[in-house]
Structure 1
């Protein structure tokens, strides 16, 4: 029977079931609109346009995936330099029992102004206090310097089987004065004015931008659900619409409550998938996400000015864990985690194939051997402890958290991140999850699903037989060689052969569409004799620059002035009589998979700050195929990194067709004139055997 991804997935899941391994998987695909021109689609995290997209996305998702769920705007991390915590659009969906919010049409799930007046807030709070048997416990709140009621406040909690409140020192005559700001009233309460023995949580109701906003205080799931039921009954009774729930997500939800959230992340809208028990569920979830994104005007690609079609830039991390602590496969068998660490270090393709164009030491997910000189040695020692001493989750965290970091010590920026595994310092740090962060999103659910299946299959292979090989010392070869698509593809072949040897027949060809997207074709040149020169995009590391103080916090920028291409020939026989030049420099070839291959690094733009300011821009690149004996040019082409017609572009491409046209026009074949070419021999260096660094040939 012909092997398919679906049949392989069945084999993988049957293996896990036989071994009693409960491996959950999730992810964080990211999306952007067709025209990502607003600040929140480039550098900023939050913006009104992004919030509107998140609300519409949630509205459609409630229809197709989570009927009866409740959409709620909660608040996540608060980063230095940002005035407010970043919002998350959270969907809560009980998989058992009655619907949480049966009528989504009563919710404000777009970015249009609402039509509620302030009396709607008063009506809701008065009815709610009556139903909760808390009459007279609410009071008004006003903005600084104002007298008009801005919101209603109800100190609220649940204790000893009933709803309780607390007599805060405010009233209609002495209203609470909110902190200045444009966030919900529940985030602007002057809690510092209360005595230490007072209840310091409250529900607030207000009308903002015409929407009726209800701020929910921290509550356990059962009581949260009861409170929402009260509010829904009142919404029906008073025909309340255009409502927004915000505040704190309930805690202690348990496994029967599905959670899905859309997070405001710099440049993208991030979809946080719920943990899936198997690949089929994960794939179905991806299908729903992509369909919903498309229906709301979002997509998983970004069209760049020069026609390059790349991922959104926001990542698509893969997360693996267990349904609970007792069944978490990494808690039950820490050696499995050690095998993952060793196997990933052995195979750079497991990171470089799935990540974006920005890799290396300064990226969001550096490899362990990119973060420090002796990191691989130290990680090897930690793996031995995982394999031999059966540490508990806290010990696992202590073993790995100081190793799996970037060069600055950031635990969140690592190829394999354990920041949420058993971290006491983080609010959601004890989830038992390992996060594979060297992943960017792919254009379709099918492609991203294949990536997830590949990684899940690798973990199954490691569960079948531990991988205990010593760490490899790549040295300079890691970037020189493994930044090239042909080498990465060859490494994937080795992995697939290993998978097959362990009973998991993953076909490398299934990943071909992913390779074409990640390493797009930049140009082809037909050579005399029927052979072909192929030029593809390769990976490039953008080095970190020195610290800069630009009037705010000290920052470190990256040098993005260089680019890297891969040159390959369809056969090596023509090299006996011919050779290839780039800007007059002879290309040195290496054999990869039986074909001549060479990386080409060059200065593509003038950046600041940047290394080597003395090196001029070296684009466009002139490729010349010449006869060795006569040095006459037999075929040639220009490759332009940027617009060949003008210094700038008139905005982003309007669609994929225009993007492809812009990309295609950057490769220009030159009519053969049989002229003689001047040849400069390539300068070779021990650190760059597979890549010609054209910057060393700058004049």
Structure 2
């Protein structure tokens, strides 16, 4: 049996070698002269909680409190200014979600000198003097050269409208110009009062009028001043406003001040990190970094702070199974500014990237979360159907020929094709909705491309290794010599058959790593080892008769159920997750030696002949199905491989209500020349049927429980007359689907299946 790793799934301990490998790769990319910035969206959950907010829903009191704690810890460690902005509002939700943020200069210089956020201050019992603060702020704005008007709305809030005097027509008469500004302010003020804004700028204000909303709110039973900030178009203007606000607040002797309102403007000089709620998780939109070394340092701070608060990047089940946190681990790539995005600096890059992902399914599935496939959260361009692939081929050809495409042409040429089947671009594997999208105000034209087929990684080192991998691919394709592009591959049924098995995905990954090595962008040993690490899928291992049998969880493409068009409007969707797929892989104990040429004695040849006779069946000996193993070879040598699909449980709502659960799964490993065989039974629960004593304490205990579900026993080798061939409808080139046995009344491959 496979021994439990004391720290499974988590990456190797952080070492100088690993950090040095990251730095060296950053230097290699930098020498190419193309800026490639990277950002991530890690998600964390309370894996011990059974509350809805940590299982399925977005909002909840405990989640809000934990997010506040995380904000405080990150502020203490990383600094910056706390800014509470209005988050997104989704269909069916009464109010916009909250959004907690940290805004800071990249050079480390402070940018806020006013009163602290109440989460970082001791609050007196006395209410703040808002009138004095309002007067001082108005005076500061007028001293800057703004025309200012103030008014109270029906809820008692103070609305402060400000418009700069400069920038008007130099030939205009001063008195007429001031009257025109006053009239614009009066009209904007009337509109603002009528709309009762929760945050400024819900509706656009005329001209360059800024709206500040000043009020008090309760913070842990104490009245605190809150100022909602206007929409500022430039970092310089925003920072200038902060200086005025901070000075006025200090002069008014405010003990604390909540800053809220619009999200702040960003450029390469500042960083903006937000904490927001999502179904089952807290999501952190990390500020992008110019290299992976910076991302690694920031990720270590975040992971450590989250662990300190009992938040985990994964969820453990009672039987030792490991699941995602409940959210994804997307990565976004761009440049220091939209105009300097690598996808605009190298206009052939994006079409090449689309082609490369089409050629390498490993990049779509090997690091992906569970909800993958044509109805998943990161749909490949070739999972939309054959017609979609043909249109995509034409679109790429048009973008790759003739003049270099500009930003508008790139986005328009691919935005309608990089979507899921329903046309949702947000659920595409390669999401370009923020590349140069005119239909998303403010944040659509950012030059960004997001990789969505990534699960939440369990360690900052694993996150960094994948960032290096994807960044290296982008750099390689951006600097590839001009050549006739390779045609898109129509993988057909193999996409969800062959590439559902880790064996073929890992072999495909080796091709990617070889491409990078040949391009001078090889990952190096520590990073390559981290990328190859895939213990998450290990379910059992048996060594018998010179053979190594390994059982791993394979990819299963869970379908949506119910009204798909209606589900697409929701923040979470219902799938049938009852089908499980396993990979059965048999290797000789010395596979590389067996794959080499015969030695003079012929010993290697005899060993290869012996391995050729080993077989695997599924079911009890008296009615076992002989599995048609495929003889394959990879960088580790020869192997026999097949996938096995079965129903793991009967869902309350799902497909095939007449299909019963088909657990446990029983395998037999034997050789015709041997009298003894090994029976391997893979249980879905404890083999003795007893309850687990709570959830696993950590990943090591989870692996111990999982491996304990794989039980072996020595049995007589099955006789030829006991073996049957699987029904033809159950077989694909790479998989045997046991669910088809129910059609023939042979669903119970083990006498204990019904009881289980």
Q: Give the 3-state SS of the residue equivalent to 1:412 in structure 2.
A: helix
Distance 2:521 2:685 in 1: 44
Greater shift in the superposed pair: 501-510 or 365-374: 501-510
Q: State the 1:169 CA deviation.
A: 12
In structure 1, C-alpha distance between the alignment counterparts of 2:188 and 2:475, rounded to whole Å: 60
In structure 2, the CA distance between the partners of 1:95 and 1:579, relative to structure 1 (3 Å rule), is closer
Paired residues of 1:52 and 1:109 also in contact (CA < 8 A):
no
Tell me, in whole angstroms, the C-alpha distance in 1 between the residues paired with 2:472 and 2:188.
Answer: 61
Measured in 1, the distance between the counterparts of 2:127 and 2:275 equals: 29
8 Å Cα contact 1:113-1:211 kept in structure 2: no
CA contact (8 A) 2:17 2:526 kept: no
Say if 1:454 and 1:506, in contact at 8 Å, map to a contact too. Answer: yes
2:556 counterpart residue number: 540
Q: Against the structure 1 CA distance between its residues 508 and 119, is the aligned structure 2 distance closer, same or farther, given a 3 Å change threshold?
A: closer
Q: 1:566 to 1:395 in 2, by over 3 A?
A: same
Matched, 1:489 2:532: no
* From 511, 517, 521, the counterpart of 1:500: 517
CA contact (8 A) 2:419 2:426 kept: yes
The equivalent position to 1:157 in structure 2, one of 148, 159, 162, is 162
Q: Which has the higher contact order (CA 8 A, sep 6+)?
A: 2
Q: Tell me the distance in 1 between the aligned counterparts of 2:85 and 2:286.
A: 16
Cα deviation per residue 1:36-86 (whole Å; 9 max; x = unaligned)? Answer: 433222222222322222222222222333x3x211111232211111222
Three-state SS of the structure 1 residue aligned to 2:284 is: strand
Give the structure 2 partner of residue 295 of structure 1.
308
Q: Is the 8 A contact 2:86 2:199 kept in 1?
A: no
Q: Secondary structure of the equivalent of 1:338? A: helix
Q: Distance in 2 between matches of 1:125 and 1:240?
A: 12
Q: Deviations over 1:238-276 (max 9, x none)?
A: 65445432211233x432222112222222222222222
Provide the rounded CA distance (Å) in 2 between the counterparts of 1:4 and 1:469.
37
Using the TM superposition, give the Cα deviation of residue 197 of structure 1 relative to its aligned residue in structure 2, in angstroms: 11
CA deviations over 1:440-499 (Å, ceiling 9, x no partner): 121111111011111111222223325721111111111111111111111111112222
Q: Deviations over 1:3-32 (max 9, x none)?
A: 966666566545544443222221212222
Does 2:636 correspond to 1:621?
no
Shifted more, 369-378 versus 95-104: the winner is 95-104
Contact 2:100–2:275 (CA<8 Å) still a contact in 1? yes
- 8 Å CA contact 1:30–1:269 kept in 2: the answer is yes
Which of 410, 414, 435 is the matching residue for 2:424?
A: 410
RMSD (Å), alpha carbons: 3.8
In 1, the alpha carbon distance for the partners of 2:658 and 2:526 equals 44
Change (3 A) 1:510 1:135: closer
| Match status 1:587 vs 2:627 | yes
Give 5+ residue unaligned stretches, structure 2: 1-15, 168-180, 589-607, 746-756
Task: After TM superposition, list the pairs within 5 Å mapping 1:271-420 onto structure 2.
Answer: 271-389=284-402, 390-420=404-434
2:71 aligned to which of 41, 45, 58: 58
Asked if the contact 2:148–2:162 (Cα under 8 Å) also holds between the matched residues in 1, the reply is: no
Counterpart contact for 1:178–1:188, Cα < 8 Å: no
| Matched position secondary structure for 1:109 | helix
1:441 to 456, 461, 464: 456
Aligned to 2:176: none
Q: Is the 8 A contact 1:581 1:625 kept in 2?
A: no
Deviates more, 1:570-579 or 1:479-488: 570-579
Matching residue of 2:37: 24
Which residues of 2 match residues 544-563 of structure 1 at below 5 A?
A: 544-547=560-563, 557-563=574-580
The C-alpha deviation readout for 1:354-409, integer Å capped at 9, x for no partner, is 11122111110011111222222222211112211312111111110110000110
Q: TM-score of the superposition, structure 2-length normalised?
A: 0.79
Gaps of 5+ in 1: 143-150, 180-184
Q: Which residue of 1 aligns with 2:4?
A: none
Which residue of structure 1 lines up, in the alignment, with residue 178 of structure 2? none
Corresponding residue of 2:105: 94
Deviation at 1:160, TM superposition (A): 1.6
Q: Which has the higher helix share?
A: 2
Greater CA drift, 20-29 or 391-400:
20-29
Match of 1:679 in 2: 723
CA distance in 2 between partners of 1:687 and 1:408 (Å): 30
- Aligned counterpart, 1:525: 542
Counterparts of 1:125 and 1:522 in 2: how far apart (Å)? 64
3-state SS of paired residue (1:599) = strand
What's the TM-score, normalizing by structure 1? 0.85
Q: What is the aligned counterpart of 1:612 among 650, 656, 677?
A: 656
Render the CA deviation track for 1:649-694: whole Å, top value 9, x for unaligned: 6764343354334323322234647787943322345972111111
